Amino acid sequence: MSKILVTGGTGHLGRDLVPALTGAGHAVRLLARKAGQHSSVEWAPGNLATGDGIDEALRGVDTVIHAATLSPIARRGMRLVDFFSSPSSVDVDGTRHLLAAAERSGVSHFIFVSIVGLEFSTLPYSRVKLAGERLVRKSSVPWSVIAATPFYYLLAQMLGGLKWLPVWPLPTSPSNPVDTRDVAKYLAEAVTDGKCGVRPAIGGPDTMPFSDFARQYRDALGLRRLVLPLPIGRKMSLKMGLVETAERLGERNWKAWLCEQGGRQ
């Protein structure tokens, strides 16, 4: 079994990825600014933005899963400033530091977690994330890129921001967001399947109009809101990050995820 360095192990995806990897018998080291609670993994203090601790974290590592990101939108919800700029210190500079160190230490596989439809989105965060992905694709370290559709937690967070409105005008664009546990399972398989390059993207099992996801969210929370379906063109949908993929489908659907949360969103 290989020694795997995970970045972003304290994040939403990372918290599901760690048990998926340790459960498959891998030795896991997490590069993190602050050590967390998992006792089944090794913690390596480090900061991607500054490059601190990266060389030490990579010692003896065969595979890197790079799942760290700095998405202000995911952290605190959408604000006007997010339409104009997004920090690149982690996704571009951090990816550059990590790749350079991975080249020096002879890492045999670098797995990059990406997002479906980045090339079509006009959001500054998407451009930053795409710049990071391009560095990976140009790297001399054998790499894989695995893109996912938006995660359920992010969808819940976005819809939660609409709670104060009595009417929700929302696009009918087809979408299939995904559960982080399904993405984690896929990444864990990618460590040992011997493949490289751009992998099939992963999305959730249900593809529906985005407005229907909002209806299910509203009903699960017992809210009385009018969802107003808004047909928009495909190009505009992609620009807004409303994406779908049928390349690989996860198992857990939105309704089940909402039930598990038990109205906590």
Using CB under 6 A, list all residues that contact ligand NAP.
Answer: 7-14, 32-34, 47-49, 67-71, 74, 90, 94, 113, 115, 129, 148, 150-151, 154
Would you say 1 or 89 has its CB closer to ligand NAP? 89
Would you say 107 or 183 has its CB closer to ligand NAP? 183
Distance of alpha carbon 237 from the chain centroid: 19
Would you say 175 or 216 has its CB closer to ligand NAP? 175
> What is residue 60's three-state secondary structure?
coil
- Spatial contact of 170 and 214, defined as CB atoms under 8 Å apart: yes
Least distance in angstroms from the C-beta of 87 to ligand NAP: 9
- Spatial contact of 69 and 91, defined as CB atoms under 8 Å apart: yes
User: CA 168 to CA 166: how far, in whole Å?
Assistant: 7
Residue nearest to ligand NAP (CB): 11
| Token code pair at residue 263 | 């109205």
Would you say 105 or 167 has its CB closer to ligand NAP? 105
User: CA 56 to CA 45: how far, in whole Å?
Assistant: 9
Least distance in angstroms from the C-beta of 41 to ligand NAP: 13
> What is residue 143's three-state secondary structure?
strand
Would you say 37 or 224 has its CB closer to ligand NAP? 37
Least distance in angstroms from the C-beta of 69 to ligand NAP: 4
Least distance in angstroms from the C-beta of 167 to ligand NAP: 25
Least distance in angstroms from the C-beta of 53 to ligand NAP: 9
CA 193-96-136 angle, 5° bins: 35
